[in-house]
Amino acid sequence: MIERTVTIRNRSGLHTRPAATLVKTAARFASEFYIKKDSFEINGKSIIGVMTLAAEQGSTLVLTFSGRDETEMAEAVVGLFEKGFGEL
Amino acid sequence: MSEETGERIFNGLPAAGGIAIGPAFVYEREEVFVSERVLTPDEVDREILLLNEAMLRTRQELERIVSFARKKLDDDAAKIFESQLLMLEDIEMLHSLERRLREEKKNADFLIYDELKRYREMFDGAKDIALRERMADLDEVGQRIMRNLQKKRLHLTVEGRHIIISEQLTPSDTLLFSRNDVLGYATDTGGIASHAAILSRSLKIPAVTAMQGASKEIRTGDLVILDGQHGILIVNPTEEHQREYERKSSRIESLEAELAELVDLPCVTTDGHKVELSANAEFVDELEYIITQGSKGIGLYRTEHLYIAKGDFPSEQEQFIEYSATAQSMYPQTVIFRTFDIGGDKHLNRGIPEQNPFLGWRGIRMMLDEPDLFRQQFRAILRASTMKNIKLMFPMISGLSELEEVLGIFEEVKLELRDKQINFDEHMEVGVMIEVPSAIFVADELAKRVDFFSIGTNDLVQYLMAVDRNNELIADLYQEFHPAVIRALKTIIDTGHRNNIWVGMCGEMAGNPLATVLLLGLGLDEFSMVPSVIPEVKKIIRSTNYEDAQRIAHQALQLPTSRKVRDFLEAYVRERQPQMMAALLNDDPDGDGNHVSALPVSRIAADEDHGPGDADSDSGKKTED
């Protein structure tokens, strides 16, 4: 299992577009992917779950990946956060 | 007049610009009803099959909508439907549905209904509009699946050119109706930032929202006029109104193209005098729209909406996130945050009944009694100021001692941040709102301690005239062109300039095109208004000579009554800005000087602290003073 901590950099947080990008990217991989914010954890492959996080700019999220392609998946997903979902 | 013809006027929010005139089509969304059933074991498998079929059908529908949306809308608007498709495919929801179906053995449409309820509870507390909009999207997806399970069809067709009136329109209603010859949309619920409003703008179909029950009062076939720029709906209009809006509509078309070109041009008079036009705002979601209107920043950001949305004071961190997001999205333009102005019409005092809340515990008075809340807000604003594009102002200041007390707390907070080595803008400009009449008479003292004044005309006029404008018996005494008001404005502006500080205005008057030349001539430096009127005001300023404006202001100051001031300004605008006047006011070619028309113009802004429907302003009322 891989665990990564990321901060949301783009200003409008995980709103409609970034949430969709995140879920679509995650769907390309077989591994399980969970996102934890404060004490709340959701499935990172679920758009509704990501919506309920209501993650705003500046929030810190803990991402966990587990499965056979977890390394590639972690790289792809963390990359999205680092690039601010192309909104920086 | 209105009794004879049955004309009714509804005020809402301007969701998408333009004017539409035509018959109403009242659309009643067919509700999906579900009942709870317990299935026999044999039925469970069959139900799963039916659910899968309904899912497939829903998916096909959504895919068609997405491809239609991609053709018809800009990228961002089309994304709304793409995300609906993702919601449909949401693995968590699918798993949860199938699991519950097997375990609880209940009918699928009931389970979907129940799942939606669960999510709705989760989103209900959300203060974020965007989040509530996503719940609306999810709801729409759920309704679509339930409808398909029940094998029902939606009918979104209408013959001929109509204005669609509905309690509510979902994003796909808005998109799919546009396949017909739809002239406009008017809904009871919704906001400027709702997905349906975004779609109307993207489709360029005029729309008015937040009409508060209008759909119940209108019948299919009624003639309606929809003014999407000012948020007005007129049902069974008088012939006069019809003619007026037909004229406006044709003129607006040519004017619109012209106004669009103004967006990037500076706001400067023909002889080179420059002023700032900025927008009044309260939600991060509005910012994108504000920018497209050519605003130079935000002249009034009402922070109390955070309180109202949450029902309690937001934490420092919540405030910090909101303020920095706002500052960043407006950068390099500036944002003027007004500290919490709670009380008065916002009914949010802590359960202590007040006989006269407008003269009561509100604005700075309340904040000074709650210094910890004040410190929290100051810290959040200062921390958000690192990009140096934030200014701060205080509401309801009545005199120097209050201002000194506020500034004292502000300085203490700065000191505390410096101690903790937290960065902030050391040179942040601070200002006071001039809205309590006493402040006018001590403006000289106030000006020496701040960087700017911002005139809040809505309250200033109320307090100056002793008129509660929400009281219909006397609302016609609320007159922003009263000589006392414009002379007060002159005193405030002159006092500011004498002390080398700039003077802005963030009340409704700043966005009233009839007042533009007067305010310009009085020397106002910044006009802050609802974003939708910025292009009009800019056009007037760009075609005015500053010296002329000064002369107009000088002459207006000599006039003895509100009516005379109004007539004088109307005559000037009619002569100098015939095209603008024709589109905005009722420029009657026969020149019989009819005034009914002025109504929509000053209703432009259900703004500055008054919700839609209560901003009953003076114009259009022929009261002699």
Q: What is the pLDDT of residue B363?
A: 85
Query: Would you say B186 and B174 are in contact if contact means Cβ atoms under 8 Å apart?
Result: no
Tell whether B168 and B218 lie within a shared domain.
yes
Q: Which residue has the higher pLDDT, B101 or B120?
A: B101
Tell whether B76 and B172 lie within a shared domain.
no
Can you spell out the DSSP letters for B512-546? -TTTHHHHHHHT--EEEE-GGGHHHHHHHHHTS-H
Q: Is A16 within 8 Å of B80 when comparing Cβ atoms?
A: yes
Do the bridges between strand B335-338 and strand B390-394 make them parallel or antiparallel, or are there none, so unpaired? parallel
Whether pLDDT at B480 is above 80: yes
Q: What is the pLDDT of residue B545?
A: 93
Tell whether B170 and B302 lie within a shared domain.
no
Residue B614 lies in a domain: no
Partner residue opposite A48 with nearest CB, options B76, B87, B321: B87
Residue B410 lies in a domain: yes
Tell whether B264 and B163 lie within a shared domain.
no
Residue carrying the six token digits 């729409």: B140
Distance set, CA B513 to CA B540, B572, B573, B580, B603 (Å): 8, 12, 9, 9, 11
- Residues 6 or more apart from B431 whose CB is under 8 A from it? B336, B391, B392, B393, B394, B450, B451, B452, B453, B454, B501, B504
Q: What percent of chain B has pLDDT over 70?
A: 85
Q: What is the DSSP letter of A55?
A: P
Q: Which residue among the candidates A15, A20, A42, A87 is catalytic per the annotation?
A: A15
Chain A: give the shortest CA distance to residue B86, in Å.
7
What whole-number distance in Å separates Cα of residue B79 and Cα of residue B175?
13
Chain B: give the shortest CA distance to residue A37, in Å.
15
Could you report the per-residue pLDDT of A14-60, keeping only the tens digit for each?
A: 877 788 889 989 999 999 999 999 888 999 999 988 888 877 778 89
Range with the poorest average pLDDT among B240-249, B276-285, B438-447, B560-569: B276-285
Residue B407 lies in a domain: yes
Residue B417 sits in a domain whose CATH number is 3.20.20.60
Query: Of the residues B91, B116, B149, which one is the last residue of a structural domain?
Result: B149
Query: Of the residues B149, B170, B200, which one is the last residue of a structural domain?
Result: B149
Partner residue opposite B82 with nearest CB, options A20, A43, A51: A20
Tell whether B159 and B299 lie within a shared domain.
no
What whole-number distance in Å separates Cα of residue B36 and Cα of residue B111?
8
Q: What is the DSSP letter of A3?
A: E
Tell whether B403 and B465 lie within a shared domain.
yes
Could you report the per-residue pLDDT of B30-56, keeping only the tens digit for each?
A: 778 889 999 998 899 999 999 999 999
Q: For residue A43, what are the β-bridge partners?
A: A34
Q: What is the pLDDT of residue B603?
A: 31
Tell me the mean pLDDT in the region B203-207. 88
Of B79, B89, B136, B139, the C-alpha closest to B115 is B139
Tell whether B75 and B188 lie within a shared domain.
no
The H or E element spanning position B230 is none
Tell whether B216 and B70 lie within a shared domain.
no
Distance set, CA B533 to CA A10, B228, B286, B511 (Å): 30, 12, 15, 6
Q: What is the pLDDT of residue B309?
A: 67
Residue B595 lies in a domain: yes
Query: Would you say B492 and B443 are in contact if contact means Cβ atoms under 8 Å apart?
Result: yes
Residue B9 sits in a domain whose CATH number is 3.50.30.10
Best mutation target, A37, A48, A87, to test chain B (most B CBs within 10 A): A48
Distance set, CA B302 to CA B171, B311, B344 (Å): 28, 15, 14
What whole-number distance in Å separates Cα of residue B93 and Cα of residue B74?
29
Looking at chain A, how many residues does it have?
Answer: 88
ipTM above 0.90, yes or no: no
Distance set, CA B488 to CA B155, B232, B294, B362, B481 (Å): 57, 31, 30, 23, 11
Q: What is the pLDDT of residue B590?
A: 36
Query: Of the residues B209, B237, B265, which one is the last residue of a structural domain?
Result: B237
Q: Is A12 within 8 Å of B284 when comparing Cβ atoms?
A: yes
Whether pLDDT at B582 is above 70: no
Chain A: give the shortest CA distance to residue B87, in Å.
6
- Residues 6 or more apart from B420 whose CB is under 8 A from it? none
Q: What is the pLDDT of residue B595?
A: 33
Within B187-233, where are the H helices? 195-203
What whole-number distance in Å separates Cα of residue B154 and Cα of residue B147?
8
Q: In which domain, by residue range, is B216 found?
A: 2-30+155-237
Q: How high is the mean pLDDT of chain B?
A: 83
Range with the poorest average pLDDT among A23-27, B22-26, B61-65, B534-538: B534-538
Query: Would you say B156 and B177 are in contact if contact means Cβ atoms under 8 Å apart?
Result: yes
Tell whether B191 and B286 lie within a shared domain.
no
Of B440, B442, B481, B477, the C-alpha closest to B462 is B477
Q: Which residue has the higher pLDDT, A88 or B116?
A: B116
Best mutation target, B97, B122, B134, to test chain A (most A CBs within 10 A): B134
- Residues 6 or more apart from B243 whose CB is under 8 A from it? none
Report all structural domains of chain A as residue ranges with CATH numbers, in order of start: 2-86 (3.30.1340.10)
- pLDDT band of residue B256 (cuts 50, 70, 90) is low
* 3-state SS class at B369: helix
The H or E element spanning position B268 is none
What whole-number distance in Å separates Cα of residue A87 and Cα of residue A9?
9
Can you spell out the DSSP letters for B7-46? -EEEE-EEEE--EEEEEEEEE-PPPPP----BPPHHHHHH
Q: Is B134 within 8 Å of A16 when comparing Cβ atoms?
A: yes
Partner residue opposite B91 with nearest CB, options A20, A46, A57: A46
Tell whether B140 and B194 lie within a shared domain.
no
Tokens of B52: 């899968």
What whole-number distance in Å separates Cα of residue A85 and Cα of residue A13?
10
Tell whether B579 and B486 lie within a shared domain.
yes
What whole-number distance in Å separates Cα of residue B367 and Cα of residue B394?
10
Whether pLDDT at A82 is above 70: yes
Residue B612 lies in a domain: no
What whole-number distance in Å separates Cα of residue B145 and Cα of residue B587?
52
Q: For residue B22, what are the β-bridge partners?
A: B224
Residue B35 lies in a domain: no
Residue B529 lies in a domain: yes
What whole-number distance in Å separates Cα of residue B198 and Cα of residue B16?
8
Whether pLDDT at B237 is above 70: yes
Please report the sign of the dihedral spanned by the C-alpha atoms of residue B235, residue B239, residue B243, residue B248. negative
Residue B97 sits in a domain whose CATH number is 1.10.274.10
What whole-number distance in Å separates Cα of residue B431 and Cα of residue B42?
73
Query: Would you say B28 and B166 are in contact if contact means Cβ atoms under 8 Å apart?
Result: yes
What whole-number distance in Å separates Cα of residue B485 and Cα of residue B479?
8
Tell whether B206 and B352 lie within a shared domain.
no
Give the count of domains, chain B: 3
Residue B36 lies in a domain: no
Q: What is the pLDDT of residue B210?
A: 86
Distance separating the N- and C-terminal Cα atoms of chain A:
30
pTM for the structure as a whole: 0.57
Of B463, B488, B480, the C-alpha closest to B516 is B480
Distance separating the N- and C-terminal Cα atoms of chain B:
22
- pLDDT band of residue B356 (cuts 50, 70, 90) is confident
Q: Is A23 within 8 Å of B86 when comparing Cβ atoms?
A: yes
